[in-house]
Amino acid sequence: MGKYILKRLGLLIFTFFVIVTISFFLIRLLPQEMPTDLNLAAVIKARWEALGYNEPLLIQYGIYLRNIFTKFDFGTSWKISLTTPALEVMSDRILPTVIVNLYALLISIPVGIALGIYAAIKKNTWQDHFISTVVIIFVSVPSYVYAFFVQYFLYFKLRWVPTNVMYSLADAGGSYFTLKMFSSLILPVMALSFGEIAGLTRFTRAELTETLTSDYMLLARTKGLTRGQATVRHALKNAMVPIFPMLISSFIGILSGSLIIEQIFSIPGIGALYLFSINQLDYDIFMLMTVFYTLIGLLAGIVVDISYGFIDPRIKMGKK
């Protein structure tokens, strides 16, 4: 296991370095637009000169890496928040994204697993067929379609929610964990939850159905356990081995999928910031967001793989 983890970490560092290098050179090859204000343009030019932005690309890349490793400096925002450190701009946006995705996960995980268990227990009945059909439909539809759907019906037609814009901390009473804040987030949370619930339901049903037909389940029933007791004590425990790593990666999946959702619902999160940095050609913000998403995605893959060995000691990663 130790050798496997070291090998994966080595591959992670190499992959991370390649992605960051390609992204840096591609973004720096784009044209640099100066503001029409001459005084502001002079300030930006002086700042660029101090940061070495006028040097050849290889030297710029070396300066960029040196600033990251020695000062933890990812550059400065030039369009979104002028002369503000890029890391500070991102840190101000990360909490709204985490809150929205956390609410979505707290709803998706119990509902998805419960529906999957129910469908597996009711296999080949009308309840199973109904749930499976609905799951196929919900899995096939992208999250932004749900966003428009809930926005149109729940907000525009029925007026069940007060607004389709996330409240500020001042409006919500100084906390993100309030009923008022949750009510303003119910639309994006629903849009993010539908696909996640469907995926968890389908995966849980498939794993639990296979487990319920195993030989050890038949042995448990012959020993006198009821169907419910055998399911809870044996089937669920073994079915959760592949399900639990999926739950670990669910947050990353929803976080990536919230790029468009945040834009639709005007949530001031890092997803909207990423898209805005691309549109505005804010180079350092774009690079920081690329580093952030790349690192989280790579780390999530390692954590999911390693978690199999910790959940079930019989699984030895790296064995031939």
Q: What is the DSSP string of 146-178?
A: HHHHHIIIIIIIS--SS-SSPPPTTTTTS-SSS
> Is the pLDDT higher at 220 or at 173?
220
In CATH, 92-281 is 3.40.640.10: no
Q: How much is the pLDDT for 275?
A: 82
Tokens of 302: 């390692």
Confidence of residue 15 (pLDDT cuts 50, 70, 90): very high
> Residues 107-123: pLDDT tens digits?
888 999 889 888 888 88
Is the entire prediction scored with pTM above 0.75?
Answer: yes
> Residues 51-106: pLDDT tens digits?
777 788 888 888 888 888 888 888 888 788 877 888 888 888 888 888 888 888 88
Residue 257 has pLDDT above 60, yes or no: no
The whole-number average pLDDT for the span 138-159 is 83
Q: What is the DSSP string of 210-268?
A: HHHTSHHHHHHHHTT--HHHHIIIIIHHHHHHHHHHHHHHHHHHHHHHHHHHHHHTT--
The most distant pair of C-alpha atoms in the chain lies apart, rounded to whole Å, by 85
Domain spans, the chain: 92-281
How many whole angstroms separate alpha carbon 57 and alpha carbon 61?
Answer: 6
> Residues 283-298: pLDDT tens digits?
888 889 888 888 888 8
From 80, 55, 64, select the one nearest 272 (Cα to Cα): 80
